[in-house]
């Protein structure tokens, strides 16, 4: 049990919500409520909101992330954004492999690996999402599946680079459904991810890596989830759009 060795990280995933003007308003609501946070606080926002979000949070304890990036530096990839474009703006984090990208936009473990590589090369910190569908949980293959997703995504990532990787365990059946994993389920799979990291990089590196839970985490259930020994933070969708709820989760992480 080495929770003290790693940072608790609460990251909002705004998904496809908020115009720049709305982003400013939301962040201005969040900032005063989380200014004394004892954990890292990140807002991952739509590409068009990044500039505004960076300006509004300058000099504060809230860091800004994107929700995806492409694996090439530039080129004929209509509609895509490169990791270099993000770092050039001052963005520090990027979500990679979210289940919505895997499900709706053809993201595979292989493209996730390429995006992780590009993001790390550009100097970003990656929030790598893994997680099972309900049928996979019912089939009893969650642990193998999540271990495999983690291994493929981290193919070629060095131990030194792992310090710029956060892993988010997000059971697909819990995302946006109001159906949260139990604290025990969340902890079990976060522990499987940590054991997978230990196999790849050794125990010290695994103990130093932040593993978040995501999937209907909210102001009411965050404390119990974040108190689990292997749950080091949360990736928050719906509740990250509500300042008071998001702030409650941040306080729960500080205590957890």
% helix, strand, coil for the chain, step of 5: 50, 15, 35
Span from 23-31, 57-65, 212-220, 242-250 in contact with ligand PGA (CB under 6 A): 212-220
Closest-by-Cβ residue to ligand PGA is 237
In whole angstroms, how close is the CB of 116 to ligand PGA at the nearest point?
17
| 70 in active site | no
Nearest of 70, 24, 71 to residue 45 by alpha carbon: 24
How many residues of this chain interact with ligand PGA, rule: CB under 6 A? 13
Residue 200 burial class via C-beta count within 10 angstroms: exposed 0-12, middle 13-18, buried 19 and up: middle
Task: Give whichever of 50 and 171 is closer to ligand PGA, judged by the CB atom.
Answer: 171
Give the Cα separation of 1 and 236 in Å (integer).
24
Span from 77-85, 103-111, 138-146, 169-177 in contact with ligand PGA (CB under 6 A): 169-177
Give the Cα separation of 28 and 20 in Å (integer).
12
Span from 21-29, 54-62, 149-157, 168-176 in contact with ligand PGA (CB under 6 A): 168-176
Task: Give whichever of 84 and 180 is closer to ligand PGA, judged by the CB atom.
Answer: 180
Task: Give whichever of 42 and 120 is closer to ligand PGA, judged by the CB atom.
Answer: 42
**Residue 214, interface with ligand PGA (CB under 6 A)?**
yes
Residue 129 burial class via C-beta count within 10 angstroms: exposed 0-12, middle 13-18, buried 19 and up: buried
**Residue 150, interface with ligand PGA (CB under 6 A)?**
no
| 144 in active site | no
* Catalytic position from the list 84, 98, 107, 132: 98
- Show the tokens assigned to 221: 């259930």
- Show the tokens assigned to 117: 């590589």
Contacts of 101 (CB under 8 A, 6+ apart): 68, 107
In whole angstroms, how close is the CB of 114 to ligand PGA at the nearest point?
21
Binding test (CB under 6 A) with ligand PGA, winner from 235, 247, 249, 252: 235
Torsion, Cα of 77, 83, 86, 87 (10° steps):
-150
Residues that bind ligand PGA (CB under 6 A): 13, 170, 175-176, 214-217, 235-239
Catalytic residues: 98, 170
């Amino acid at each position: 049990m080495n929770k003290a060795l790693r940072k608790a990280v609460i990251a909002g995933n705004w998904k496809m919500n908020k115009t720049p003007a709305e982003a400013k308003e939301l962040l201005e609501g969040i900032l005063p409520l989380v200014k004394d946070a004892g954990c890292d606080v990140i807002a991952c926002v739509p590409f068009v909101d990044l500039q505004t979000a960076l300006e509004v949070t300058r000099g504060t304890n809230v860091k800004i992330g994107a929700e995806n990036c492409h694996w090439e530096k530039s080129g004929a990839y209509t509609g895509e954004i490169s990791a270099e474009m993000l770092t050039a703006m001052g963005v520090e984090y990027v979500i990679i492999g979210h289940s919505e990208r895997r499900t709706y936009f053809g993201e595979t473990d292989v493209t996730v690996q390429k995006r992780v590589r590009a993001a790390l090369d550009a100097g970003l910190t990656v929030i790598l999402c893994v997680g099972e569908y309900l049928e996979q949980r019912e089939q009893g293959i969650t642990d193998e599946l999540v271990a495999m997703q983690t291994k493929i995504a981290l193919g070629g990532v060095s131990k030194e680079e792992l310090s710029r990787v956060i892993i988010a365990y997000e059971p697909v059946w819990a995302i946006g459904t109001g159906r949260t994993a139990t604290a025990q389920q969340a902890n079990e799979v976060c522990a499987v991810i940590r054991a997978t990291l230990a196999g790849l990089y050794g125990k010290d590196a695994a103990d130093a890596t932040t593993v978040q839970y995501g999937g209907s985490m909210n102001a009411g259930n965050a404390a119990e989830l974040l108190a689990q020994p292997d749950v080091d933070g949360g990736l928050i969708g719906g509740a990250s759009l509500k300042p008071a709820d998001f702030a409650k989760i941040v306080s729960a992480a500080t205590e957890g």
